Each structure stands twice: as C-alpha cells, then as structure tokens.
Structure 1
Amino acid sequence: MTTASTMKLQIEGMDCASCALKIETAMQRLPGVSDVSVSYASGTLALSVDEDRTQLHTIEDKIRALGYQPLGIAPAAKPALPAKRAKEIWWKSMKARLVAMTGALFAVALIAGWLMPEWDTWLFASAALISIVPFARRAISGALQGSPFTIETLMSVAALGAVAIGEAEEAAVVIFLFAVGELLETVAAGRARAGIEALIDLVPRTALRLTVAGETVSVPVEELAIDDRVVVRPGDRVPSDGVVEEGASEVNEAPVTGESVPVLKEAGAKVFAGSINANGELRVRITHAAADNTIARIIHMVEEAQESKAPTARLIDRVSRWYTPAAMVFAALIMIVPPLAFGGDWMTWVYRGLATLLIACPCALVISTPAAIASGLAAGARQGLLIKGGAALETLGKVTTVAFDKTGTLTRGHPRVTDIVALAGSEDEVLAKAAAVERNVSHPLGLAIVEAATQRALAVPATFGGGLAVPGKAVTARLKSGFASVGSPRHAAEHTDVETDIRDRIHALESEGKTVVVVMAGKTIEGLIALRDEPRDDAAAGVRRLKDQGVSVVMLSGDNQRTASAIAGTLGLEARGELLPDAKLAEIARLKEAGPIAMVGDGINDAPALAAASVGIAMGGGTDVALETADAALLRDRVEGVADLILLSRATLGNIWQNITLALGLKAVFLATTLFGVTTLWMAILADTGATVLVTANALRLLAYRPSR
C-alpha cells in the first residue's frame, strides 16, 4: 500500500485567477493527485500525489505544456524560515521573450511590406501565424487537460479568423498587444507578491548567540533553539521571539504590529522577531524557534489566506466556467445571424464577431475579486490586522453586531487597586499592611495589592511564619503588631460588627463594578481596598468608532451583572453578565439571527464563542492562540483594531465591486461600439488588456490603505 506525499511547487508566469484555474483543472485529471490548491498570488501549487502513479516530472511537463514554468519544489513541512522566491526580473521572463518575438515579427513584416507592397498581406499573415503558435499550443494543451475555453482559445480563434478574412495586419497587432497585456499582468502580480517578500526580509539571517563562556558567536537564525540567549545591539533586528533578560531599550515594533511609536522594553518584556532595537543593548532569551516566530507565522498565515477563495471569488469562478463558452456562442451568432437573417455582409459581421471574441475575454472579471482580496490581506498584515482568508475578510464588512468578551479584551485582564479607604491611620499604612499579608500568595487580587505597594515604594512590614489562606474568605498573617487579615466583606461581618457607614461605602464601591477587600487588625477594621479590572485605554474609543460605523456593540461576560454593567457603562455599550459558556453560545446564536456577528475574545477561553460567531477575532499580541484560534487576530492588542478590521473589509468589498463594474462596464461599452462597427480588432484587445490592468491597479491601491480615525 502506497501513501500520498504532499509537495509544493513554485511556478513562474501565473498572473491571474484563470491561470490558477487551468493548472488546478489539469492537476485534478492526473491519477493519484488530490488536494490540489493553486495560488496565483503566491505563485505556488500545493498537492498530494501518489508518486507510484504520477511522477514529479509528469506534473512539471503538464505545467510547462500550459505555458508556465515550474521553478522547483519545497517540502510541505514548514521550513525554519519561509523560503524567499527567486527574484523574477520581468524583462527576462518567458512572457517578455514572447513580447520581443511577436514585436520583432510584426516590425519585420511592417518594414518588408513597405519595401515590397505586393507581399504585404503574405508577410503579415506569416508573422501572425508564427506569433500565434505559442498561444495556440497553450490553448490546445488546455483543451486536452480539461480547460477548452481559455483566454488563449478566444485569442487564437480571433487571430486565425482575422487572417482568414484578409485582416492579417490586425491579427499580428492583436497577438503583439495580447503578449504585452500578459506581461503587464505579470508585472502587476509581482507587485502584489512584494508584500510577502517584504515580510521575509524583516527577519535577519544571522544572530549573535551567547555562549556559556559569555562570548558572542554569529550563527544562522535557523540554528537558534528555545532558551538560547542572544545579544541584540542598537540598530539590530530581533532574530526571533523572546523575553528580555538584561538591558533596557526602546524597540520599534512597527514591522510586526504596525505601531509606529517605539515601545520601552525592560527585563521580563516580550520582543517579536523582526522588530528593531533602537538605543540600548538587550540580552534576549529565545522563546520560539525561527520556524514559529511571529513573522514566520504571519507569512504562512497570509499565504494560506491568499490560497483560500472568498465567496465572491468562488461565484465568479463558477460564472467564468460558462461565461467563455457562452461568449463564443454569442460571437458566432453575431457572425452568422445578420448575414443570414438580414442580408448583412459576411466579412463585416465575421470581423465584428471576432472583435466580440476579444472583448469577451474574462481575465479582468476573473481577477477582480482575488486581486482585491490579496491586497486587502497584505494591507491588513502590515498594520497588525491578520485575517485568515477571503471569506473572513468579506464577512467582516457585513457584520451588524460585535460582541466583546470582558476580561482581557475590553479590560486589561488583571485587577488594579482603584480606591483605598483608610479608617485607621493613612492610606499608605493600610496598603502596606495589606501587602504584607498578601505578599506570599498568588491570588490576582493579592498580586495587585502588592504591585500597588511596590509602585508607591512603601516599606512593607515583615511577617512571622507563613500566612493562612481560607479560599473565598480571607488571608491572615502575623505581623509585629499582631495578626492582620485581608478578606471579603462577608468574612469581616462574620468576625465583627460592620458599621452602617462602612457597609454603605462598600456597597457604593461594589456598585461601580469594583471588588472590595477589608483590611483588619485582629477584629478591628482599619481600611477598605477596592480593585477592578480596568478598561483598556482605547476601549471607549474603539466602541465609539464601531457605533459610528452603524454596528451594534454588546459585552458578554461571565461576571455578575452589576460588575459587567459598571464596566459597560463607562464604555457606552450594553452588557449581559452571568453568562456561563452554554449561555454565551446561546446569546451569540440569538444575535446571529439579526445578521452576521463578530465575537472578540482573548483567544484562550473564548474558543467556543469565537467558533460560533460569523467571524471570530482574537486579541492576543502575537501569541500562538491569537494566531490560530480565530478567523482574525489583532497583533496590536487594541480594541480599536476591531473597527480597523471592519473598515478594511468594507474598503476591500468596495474595491471588489469597483473592479467588477470596471470589467463589465468596459466590456459593455466596447461591445456596443463593436456591433456598430466602431471597434477594430486591435482596439478590442486593448480594451481587454486595459480592463485587466485597470482592475489590477485599482486592487493594488489597497496596499496603501489606512483606516481613518
């Protein structure tokens, strides 16, 4: 029993979705080949193949027969670093050689015809027939491999028909202009791939690794292992994801997150591969190998996203399968109906039918959606907005509701001390005593109290012996002054009488969504400390921007309704609290009935909700979970990124419809002028080429897109 192996080939010459479709159709007809995926955006062919039934050279021969050039094969496993494609110099490409050949033949025929007018027709006919050979071979090969109605078929039929009716000069011009158009498409496709190439260039190829003896050795980044220590000098790029162990410096993370303001990095801070160290030397412990660093994951994710098709692209692919044969039938009717039914001139209407064939070429229509999607995905990646495919990118622009998780999404994810009420002594004394009691515990509230005392540089009293923790009630420790405890209001009420004004103060703080702990010395209440998981700095602005876009915003939380409402009230959105996981899923299903819904979570405990929503968005700052759990991830870890995603999606959808309108509108105009005898053959091919170039150029505008604030 044999098993299929997975391989990926790089292919030169693919410049539109119809190219990818031809290769995909041909591969699917080979025995033992399955799981075929072709991406013209990245210039790759991925497939599973039983090499006992189909050899690699057979696959490469089929690709060459279709007019494309296989450049080599890479293993399907993710390499240590994404392989950089060989730089394709457009004037050295196969399509550039075709332009030169067809142009030279036309020029020779033109000059020779001027010198020998009596041979004019034969000279242009010869030039046209020789020039058409490469395209006709591709048309025949495509037909034999399952794609009979290709752009090459339309062009070959039109050119040969022009020669047959005595319009050899126009046939030669049409072939030359078609070759030029294909070359322009290749150049444009290369521009679209430049975004991925730029990401690959962000990662340095070498790193300064520290040896046990404390010396630095330059090694390839592929050799870096987890827990290796590296030196990052001022001006150097961080070689892989890691944690700062020594040093302090500002780091420019714009290549990864799109954030232009440098971020101060000190001991304990995370750093991303590709970010640029500004002004101080850092010693970094590597936490991810080169194959799994942030840049590598972004590149692989964007490539996979470009290979997946958006719903509009799939629709256009289905339409294009019958569009071309229908166009050929329509052109044939134009040729024969007027002469037979109305006594029209045969040569005139055959000529107009041939022009219709050229105008009907579907390239511009087929490329309209994938070109925009590829540009939108690349533009998002440059701004730290990672989107896993065209389907997610399209859906984002249609969402009517955005549901946020609270903890770690709208809020920072850890509590902070917000209020200190001193009932005996000063605020600092109350906080210092509470920090002494909580110093040796790991509860989030205790850690927040210790952090607040540290920030105030307070002298924390010493404890004698270990603290005693009663889960859900209190932590007690022995200080020099006697026993002290930090506990819940209920615990305090169990051990002493709580005066009415203290109870009122506790209730007021809790009504603001804060958690209150009571600091006691023996049975005497000395103070209250309120803590809350505070909203992110940009949470209110992010919610406001979504509302300005006409999107409903709601917070879904497992916290009690009072706490959830308090946080939501400060941010200006509706809150639904006390939702267990099942209830949260049911709420998402209910909201989904009104229209597509986006769920925003931290990518860890929100996985079911992210999956249940129309599109899931993970806040994760580049973590593995954030990149793998949801349909989109926000590397900047900012709430405003949700609004940026929706704006980018709407801009992409608008670009798609602009492209479709351009493609079909130009064809409609030139079809009308053709039927009235205004359009010549060379004008028809220019119309098709022009539409393709316009559509591609319009899609490339998205690469410079920046969401408006």
Structure 2
Amino acid sequence: MAEYKIQGLSCANCAREMEEEINRLEHGEDAKILFNSSKLVINDQIDRKRVEKILASDGARLVVDSGDEHGKVDGHAHHHDHSHANGDNLKILIGLSVIFFASAIYIDYQWHDFVAIIFYLVAAALSGYKTFVKGIKNLFRLKFNIDTLMTIALAGAFGIGEWREGTIVAILFGINEYLEGLGMEKARRSMEALLKVAPKEAILYEGGKERVVSIEELQEGDIVLVKPGGKIPSDGLIFEGISSVNEAAITGESMPVEKFAGESVFGGSINNEGVLKVKITKAYKDSSLSKILHLVEEAQETKTPTEQFINRFARYYTPIVMIIAVIVMVVPPLFFNGDWGSWFYQGLAVLIVGCPCALIISSPIAIISGITRNARHGILVKGGVFLEKLGKIEAIAFDKTGTLTKGKPAVEQMKVYDEASFLKIAGSIEKNSSHPIADAIMRKVSEQETSFAEPDHIQTIAGQGVIATIEGREYRVGNEKTLENLQVPQEVQSDIDAMKQQGYTLVVVSDETRVLGMFGLTDELREESKETIHQLNSMGIKTIMLTGDHSKTAEKVADTVGLTDYYGDLLPDEKVNKIKELTARGKTAMIGDGINDAPALAIADLGIAMGKGTDSAIETADIVLMQDHLGKLPSAISIAKKVNRVIKLNISLALALKLIALLLTIPGMLTLWIAILSDMGATILVTLISLTVMIDRKK
C-alpha cells in the first residue's frame, strides 16, 4: 500500500463519496481517504490516473513531493501544506464577491438595469464558480452531492429571476466552505504540532569525529552526541554523561527526569543541560515516539459506531430530501392551486437543505481534538472508537502490582527487640544483595544506620533466607522458617501473627538464640492511587481490584485507596473470567502493566496499559498511559465524555436546524438564504463546539 498527501480536501462528505468511487476501481477495494490528515492510502497496482481524475472532480489533487516523483508520504515526512493558501484565496474571492453584490444592489435600486444582473452574476461566480463547475460535472454523471444540489438551486433561482437571492446563496455557501475548511484546518494543525516533535537529524559520533546525519540513517548500536537543548534522535541507552531530560513529548510529564550512564532514554525527548553520548538501541522507525506518532495519526481515522451511523444516514438522507423537493415543487400547484413559480422556488430551497455537510463534520473535528488533547497529556488513545468507549465506561478493573502500587517492596512496619544490633546486622547482611526486598530493607536501615560490618561468610538457603557469620557469631535474615530451631517467645510470636494478618511480607533478623527484630514489607502504593480512585468514584465509575496477591494484602490496599470492590488470590485465567463477569454487568475497562495482563486487557471492553513506552503495552492495549501512572486517567475520561457529549449535541443541532427549515415549507416561508443559513449555521456551530474540546483548562 502507498500513502499520499492530498491537497484541497475540505469537505468530509465529498471525501466519503470519492473514497467510495475509488473503492469501485480495480485494486481499489482497500483504498482509504484519511480526511482528518488529508491523506490517501491506495494499492500500488491501482491505476493512479483514474484515482487522480476522481480527486480532480472535487478540486482535490495528490501533492507531488520534490524528493519523490509519486509524492509518497513516508510515515511522518513533512510537506508544504497549501490548504492555508487555498483558504486565503477563497477569502479574497468572497471579499470581491461581497463588493460586487453591494454594487449590484445599488445599481438595481437606482436603474433596475440589466447591468445589475451582470454584477449579480459576477458576484455569484466569484464565490461559487468552483461549486458550479463541480456541480455541472456531477449532473452529467448523475452524482448528487452538495455541489450538484447547489448548482440546481442557483440555476433555478436565476432561471426564475431571483438574482439577488441566488447571489446571496452563492456568497453564503462560499463563506460556509471557507469556515468549514478553517475548522478542520485548526484541528489538523494541532495534530501536526504534535507530530513535529519528531527529530529530523542526529550528530553521529564515530572514530572521535562528529557528523550530522538524517534520522533515517541511524542504526542500532550507533553512538550519537546530544548537546544541551538538542533532541535525542531515537530510543537508546546513555553511554556517557549526566543530564536531566524532558520527556514531555512521549509521556506528557512536564518535570525533567535526571538521567545517568546506563539509563534508557526515549527518542524525541529533549536534553536539558549536560552533553550526552547515547547508544542507539532502535532504528527511529521502531522507536516509541515513531510508534506513538503513527498510532495517533491512524487513531483519527478509525470510524466510530456513531460516525458509521452518520455515514449510512447521509447516504439515504440526500435522495430523500430530493424527493421531498420534487413533491414541494409539484404537489401544491397540481392539487392545491398553488403558484408554480413560488413553489418551484420553495422546492429549490428544500434542495439546499439536503446537504449533509454539517452532519458529516459533527464527529471528526471533536474526535481529533479529543485524541490530540489526550496525546498532549501523555495518554495514547488508539482510535476514535476507543475514545468513544472511554467516555461510556461504567467500571474499571485494576491490576494491583505495578498499577495501584509501584511494583517494588517498601518497609512499612518494624518490630525491634534488640536496639543495639537489629539494624546493624540487617544492614551488614543485606547490603551485598541485589534482591528488591534487600533493597527495600537497605533504604529503611540507611535512614538510621550508616556503618556496617563486613560478614566473614554468607550462605543463601533456598526458600528461607541468608545465614551470615559476623565477628564469629551466626546471624539469619529471612522468612519465618529461619526461626525453626529457636524458642520464640509468645510476645514475638503474636507480633508475627499480627503482621501476617495485616498482609505484610515478613523479614526476620535473628542470632543463634533469639529474634533481634523484624520488618513488615508491603508493595508501596503509588502516590496518586488514592486521589485517582476518589476522582473516579465521584464520577460514578466503579473501581475494582483484581490481584493474584493474598486476600489480606488485597483488602489492605482496597481499604487504603478506597476501591469499590476487590478480588484476591486470582490465577491469570481466573482474572480473565472475572473480567468476563464484569463486562456482562456493564462497560468495563481493565488497567494493567501490559505484559502479564495481556489476556485480561484483550477481553475487557477497553484495555488500558500502564507503561513508559514498553513495546508490549503500546501494542496490546487500546489506550496507553505513557507516564506510567494513573494521575491523568480521570481527565482522559472527562475529555472522552466531553467528546461524546459534543458529538450528540452536534448531531442534534444539525438535524434540528434542517428540520426547522423543512417545516418552514408548510406555510411557504422557506427562502433560499434561510435554507443555506440552516446548513451554514449548523456547520459553523458544529465546528466551533467541536473545537472547544481542545481547550485545556489549567487548574
């Protein structure tokens, strides 16, 4: 499949019709016109001349890039966008049109002269000639879209001497086209601004020399130099240097992150102060940023159920309105003695009401705005479908480890029976271990003790812990089993039972005869978990935890963060069954860390993955929280709910204004300019309301 940039694509309905025509060509069944990003995806074997002819019928054309005779688009290549210039030209033409129209009215009142008619025609031609040319072509092909309807209405109005009315309609239609293009352009621009974070070049460092290369030339294993203020070209590891890095482009996290040698960095993030040498671990096209940008671009084009409904509706709507127009023109004069001229005029007005533009555009601008705004916050929504679902979620199931908690143990409680030696012995033994539990103990011990002895001998006993000899005495650090040969006092035993009851993981420190003290460890909660759960509950969303951990541990976490419900001791397949149960009760999202939760994420109505750009998270989930924390989840749901509300409001407005216009035919009050205002008003309102989704209200 080849991808091309299209210029002059301003009408969503026309894009849909052209896509259907291209689909009917040989090898064209998979062709897609991506209206939101002005692109065309076609099979390489298709006859391009015929495709270009279809596009030309609507004033659109393929952009031929200077670097490629076919104008193909490479993922995120940037092009000169002429749509802005097109908009400016249309603005000038409309301005001239209004001047000619005003002159025509003046001449008409002064002399009632045929000169006025010429001025009216020039005014109409300036703002409506494109529509007229397209409309006449379509008439011969019996293709009835907005251009055909407008052309029939204009020709009819001039045919019955309604020069002024016809010209007003042409000018209003020109303004409408301009504003519709402007709204779509604004949404596209915000998307393009997001895509501009992709770096273009890198400084390759080889053999002690530096040279600038394009991002595409970089290969895995290359060393690149990143100067202060420079962009890191692709995912990699810091080979040399220390600096703070701004990862906002990938994670949405505004605070810079300190980075040292050996740590990983994302392509597209900005190096703040130090000079870094980075070893590239992925070619740019495989980097997190490239995947995110590609997903965001594709996300705009997935049709939501609402959009699919609108498209089906539009297919039948226009022909039905055309039949109504014929009835309005013919029935009153034939059967109720009506005046042929005035009812013909009413019928022409009804034709204009048949334009489904406002309906078609009621959804895409709102969806792009929602996806873009979430992406700016580091929340990757993989499609309009998922955005719509996110706004309808009734329950969220959370995995515990790595989602509500940090996934690393922390000491939460200590019992000390021998002040002098407990922390000293624990530190002396654990400082040599790289185990996460040892690491947690060392963080706690280091708060009070700083000097530790060096053990003479250390032996690990599987399933128990460690035995070490320090200054001729034997000490043990491990679980309860290390106490098997000791007489444990009742007081100590009851402390052990109490801590186990509270769901702690126990680490006991003892010598040859007695217990010196013990640590109660728990998986540390994320700072934002409690606040996030509170916000979700107040939005009316049920919050449920599913974990393989002990029920006691699960209960403790559930109580601390305020979950609606929890289930512990679950095996992976039991988690999947639980999700099936929950989805049967209401729309349920599952949040996990994207690796071990893949089956549960896939079975939920919506899979949301934690993950600082982990490949499996980006690939398996429908939504990815790039910051790797839950903090922005409530705002993502609020944005999705707003998008859903806006789309419903837009559809209601578009249909209501058209219905009012149609009802005005009953008393014979519908005029051509009221008809176009009903469509134009709906289009402008729908566009403006959709753009409100993009407004970030800073707290």
Query: How high is the TM-score relative to the length of structure 2?
Result: 0.91
The 1:430–1:572 alpha-carbon spacing in structure 2 relative to 1, beyond 3 Å, is: farther
For residue 507 of structure 1, what is the aligned residue in structure 2?
497
| Selected match of 2:48 from 49, 56, 63 | 56
- How far apart in 2 are the matches of 1:453 and 1:542? 31
Per-residue Cα deviation, 1:19-69 (whole angstroms, up to 9, x for no partner): 3211210111101222222221101111335x2xx3222222221123211
Per-residue Cα deviation, 1:106-157 (whole angstroms, up to 9, x for no partner): 6699398778814544774687589866435534655788x83311121122
**2:3 and 2:72 in contact (8 A); partners too:** no
The 1:467–1:99 alpha-carbon spacing in structure 2 relative to 1, beyond 3 Å, is: farther
**1:371 and 1:696 in contact (8 A); partners too:** yes
- The answer to whether structure 1 residue 527 and structure 2 residue 521 are counterparts is no
For residue 34 of structure 1, what is the aligned residue in structure 2?
29
| Aligned AA (2:324) | F
Residue correspondence of structure 1 range 461-610 to structure 2 within 5 A: 461-464=453-456, 467-470=459-462, 472-489=463-480, 491-522=481-512, 524-573=514-563, 574-610=565-601
- The answer to whether structure 1 residue 391 and structure 2 residue 385 are counterparts is yes
Per-residue Cα deviation, 1:67-98 (whole angstroms, up to 9, x for no partner): 2111148899994x611132325234697399
- How far apart in 2 are the matches of 1:641 and 1:78? 33
For residue 365 of structure 1, what is the aligned residue in structure 2?
359
**2:23 and 2:31 in contact (8 A); partners too:** yes
Structure 2 SS opposite 1:260: coil
Structure 1 spans left out of the alignment, 5+ residues: 1-5
More deviation, 535-544/589-598: 589-598
Cα shift at 1:541: 0.3
| Aligned AA (1:355) | A
Structure 2 spans left out of the alignment, 5+ residues: none
Aligned residues between the structures: 692
For residue 86 of structure 1, what is the aligned residue in structure 2?
80
- How far apart in 2 are the matches of 1:102 and 1:165? 25
- How far apart in 2 are the matches of 1:320 and 1:368? 12
The 1:501–1:268 alpha-carbon spacing in structure 2 relative to 1, beyond 3 Å, is: farther
Cα shift at 1:600: 0.6
| Selected match of 1:666 from 652, 657, 667 | 657
- How far apart in 1 are the matches of 2:417 and 2:276? 46
Residue correspondence of structure 1 range 141-290 to structure 2 within 5 A: 148-213=143-208, 215-290=209-284
Per-residue Cα deviation, 1:287-319 (whole angstroms, up to 9, x for no partner): 333223333222211111111011111111111
The 1:263–1:468 alpha-carbon spacing in structure 2 relative to 1, beyond 3 Å, is: closer
Query: How high is the TM-score relative to the length of structure 1?
Result: 0.89
- How far apart in 1 are the matches of 2:364 and 2:351? 24
Residue correspondence of structure 1 range 244-393 to structure 2 within 5 A: 244-393=238-387
| Aligned AA (1:638) | H
| Aligned AA (2:326) | A
Percent identical pairs in the alignment equals 37
Cα shift at 1:381: 0.7
The 1:505–1:67 alpha-carbon spacing in structure 2 relative to 1, beyond 3 Å, is: same
More deviation, 36-45/678-687: 678-687
- How far apart in 2 are the matches of 1:69 and 1:507? 76
**2:31 and 2:40 in contact (8 A); partners too:** yes
**1:311 and 1:390 in contact (8 A); partners too:** no
**2:410 and 2:440 in contact (8 A); partners too:** yes
- How far apart in 1 are the matches of 2:84 and 2:575? 54
- How far apart in 1 are the matches of 2:408 and 2:284? 31
More deviation, 193-202/315-324: 193-202
Cα shift at 1:654: 1.2
For residue 433 of structure 1, what is the aligned residue in structure 2?
428
**1:516 and 1:528 in contact (8 A); partners too:** yes
For residue 42 of structure 2, what is the aligned residue in structure 1?
47
The 1:665–1:302 alpha-carbon spacing in structure 2 relative to 1, beyond 3 Å, is: same
Per-residue Cα deviation, 1:510-554 (whole angstroms, up to 9, x for no partner): 233220022233464332122211110000001000000011111
The 1:706–1:555 alpha-carbon spacing in structure 2 relative to 1, beyond 3 Å, is: farther
- How far apart in 2 are the matches of 1:192 and 1:565? 46
- How far apart in 2 are the matches of 1:83 and 1:454? 52
- How far apart in 1 are the matches of 2:443 and 2:239? 20
**1:188 and 1:696 in contact (8 A); partners too:** yes
Cα shift at 1:556: 0.2
Cα shift at 1:569: 1.4
Per-residue Cα deviation, 1:623-663 (whole angstroms, up to 9, x for no partner): 22222111101122222322122111111111112212321
More deviation, 250-259/651-660: 250-259
- How far apart in 2 are the matches of 1:523 and 1:166? 112
The 1:689–1:346 alpha-carbon spacing in structure 2 relative to 1, beyond 3 Å, is: same
| Selected match of 2:615 from 614, 624, 635 | 624
- How far apart in 1 are the matches of 2:550 and 2:249? 40
The 1:143–1:282 alpha-carbon spacing in structure 2 relative to 1, beyond 3 Å, is: farther
| Aligned AA (1:276) | I
The 1:342–1:136 alpha-carbon spacing in structure 2 relative to 1, beyond 3 Å, is: same
**1:15 and 1:41 in contact (8 A); partners too:** no
Cα shift at 1:342: 1.8
- How far apart in 2 are the matches of 1:264 and 1:455? 23
Structure 1 SS opposite 2:677: helix
RMSD (CA atoms): 3.1
- How far apart in 1 are the matches of 2:8 and 2:501? 65
The 1:456–1:95 alpha-carbon spacing in structure 2 relative to 1, beyond 3 Å, is: farther
The 1:351–1:454 alpha-carbon spacing in structure 2 relative to 1, beyond 3 Å, is: same
The 1:182–1:126 alpha-carbon spacing in structure 2 relative to 1, beyond 3 Å, is: closer
| Selected match of 2:450 from 455, 458, 475 | 458
